[in-house]
């Protein structure tokens, strides 16, 4: 039996909890021989992405995990894919965006136009550094860049170590570009490019099980219980 986990949409705490639960079910079910991750996501929370990546790595030590890009695997979604044994992509997939971004609104211009004054009380020298009602100082922006750099360096380390990239390849990937599957394969970001049906067949070969993958939707807890009962768990 091959267990398929859908990673579709924004990577957040809810997604983290869902994927973690599904991975535990797959690991503990003796009839499950391997796991397929169907990924179609532009990324999301860096911390949630790291947590899911870590869980996938752990699962991959127990049973083979194959990631298949069925649309987009960008930013945190690609980090997640790096935890798998192999990464496949359909012909029209999008891969990459190895980088981090932080955004916060600056509403000072709007406040001035409508004539509203904000009274802000804070304790702690840097407590209001990302307050949307105050323009950020150069010091505040530099501190934010420094924090982002640490996250970025971790992301680059994950990609380099899991995909065994050369200095030239990691330099190109580090520009945070997005790539077609063929270009991504040339950069060793993924392993295979083909139609979905062919990729499923290749995943079956790697896992060593020719049964059709079982997909469990996230909003079907009763179905999960039913299947687990059937499997004798």
Same domain, 40 and 2: yes
Task: Answer whether residue 93 shows pLDDT above 90.
Answer: yes
Percentage of residues in the chain with pLDDT exceeding 70?
75
90 and 198 share a domain?
Answer: yes
- On whether the CB atoms of residues 102 and 144 are closer than 8 A, the answer is yes
Q: What is the mean pLDDT of the chain?
A: 85
Residue range 43-71: mean pLDDT, rounded: 96
pLDDT the model gives residue 218: 47
90 & 191 share domain: yes
Domain count for the chain? 2
**170 is a domain residue:** no
pLDDT tens-digit readout, 165-220: 998 899 999 887 899 999 999 999 999 999 999 999 999 999 999 999 998 654 44
Residues 84 and 122 placed together within one structural domain of the fold: no
pLDDT at 118: 66
pTM, entire model = 0.80
What span, in angstroms and rounded, lies between the C-alpha atoms of 10 and 52? Answer: 13
Domain end among 107, 142, 165: 165
Instruction: Please say which residue of 135, 165, 195 terminates a domain.
Output: 165
Can you tell me the distance from the alpha carbon of 200 to that of 4, in angstroms, rounded to the nearest whole number? 11
pLDDT in tens, 117-166: 766 666 556 655 666 666 666 776 677 677 778 988 999 999 999 999 99
Q: What confidence score (pLDDT) does residue 191 get?
A: 98
Give the position of tokens 């916060």: 104
Three state DSSP letters for the chain: CEEEEEEECCECHHHHHHHHHHHHHHHHCCCCCEEEEEEEECCECHHHHHHHHHHHHHHHHHCCEEEEEEEEEECHHHHHHCCCCEEEEECCCEEECCCCCCCCCCCHHHHHHHCCCCCCCCCCCCCCCCCCCCCCCHHHHHHHHHHHHHHHHHHHHHHHHHHCCCHHHHHHHCCCCEECHHHHHHCCCCCEEECHHHHHHHHHHHHCCCCCCEECCCCCHHHHHHHHHHCCC
Percentage of the chain exceeding pLDDT 90: 63
- 94-96 vs 178-179, strand pairing mode: antiparallel
115 vs 170, which has greater pLDDT?
170
Q: Which residue in the block uniquely carries the two structure tokens 């270009």?
A: 183
Longest dimension (CA), the chain: 68
Q: Residue 15: inside a domain, yes or no?
A: yes
**How many other C-beta atoms are found inside a 10 Å radius of the C-beta of residue 32?**
19
- Same domain (yes/no): 61, 133: no
CA 170 → CA 100, 147, 149, 165, distances in Å? 15, 21, 16, 6
CATH number at residue 92: 3.90.226.10
């Amino acid at each position: 039996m091959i267990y398929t986990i859908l990673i579709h949409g924004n990577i957040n705490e809810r997604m983290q909890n869902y994927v973690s639960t599904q991975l535990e079910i797959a690991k503990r079910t003796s009839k499950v021989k391997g796991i397929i991750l169907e990924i179609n996501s532009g990324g999301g929370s860096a911390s949630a992405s790291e947590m899911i990546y870590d869980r996938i790595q752990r699962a991959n030590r127990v049973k083979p995990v194959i990631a298949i890009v069925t649309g987009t695997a960008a930013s945190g979604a690609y980090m997640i894919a790096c935890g798998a044994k192999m990464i496949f992509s359909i012909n029209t997939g999008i891969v990459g965006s190895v980088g981090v971004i932080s955004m916060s609104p600056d509403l000072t211009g709007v406040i001035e136009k409508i004539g509203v004054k904000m009274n802000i009380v804070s304790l702690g020298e840097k407590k209001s550094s990302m307050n949307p009602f105050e323009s950020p100082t150069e010091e505040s922006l530099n501190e934010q860049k420094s924090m982002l750099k640490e996250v970025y360096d971790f992301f680059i380390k994950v990609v380099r170590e899991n995909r065994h990239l050369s200095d030239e390849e990691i330099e190109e990937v580090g520009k945070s570009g997005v790539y077609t599957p063929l270009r991504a394969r040339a950069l060793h970001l993924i392993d295979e490019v083909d139609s979905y049906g062919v990729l499923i067949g290749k995943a079956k070969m790697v896992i060593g099980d020719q049964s059709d993958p079982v997909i469990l939707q996230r909003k079907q807890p009763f179905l999960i219980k039913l299947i687990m009962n059937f499997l004798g768990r």
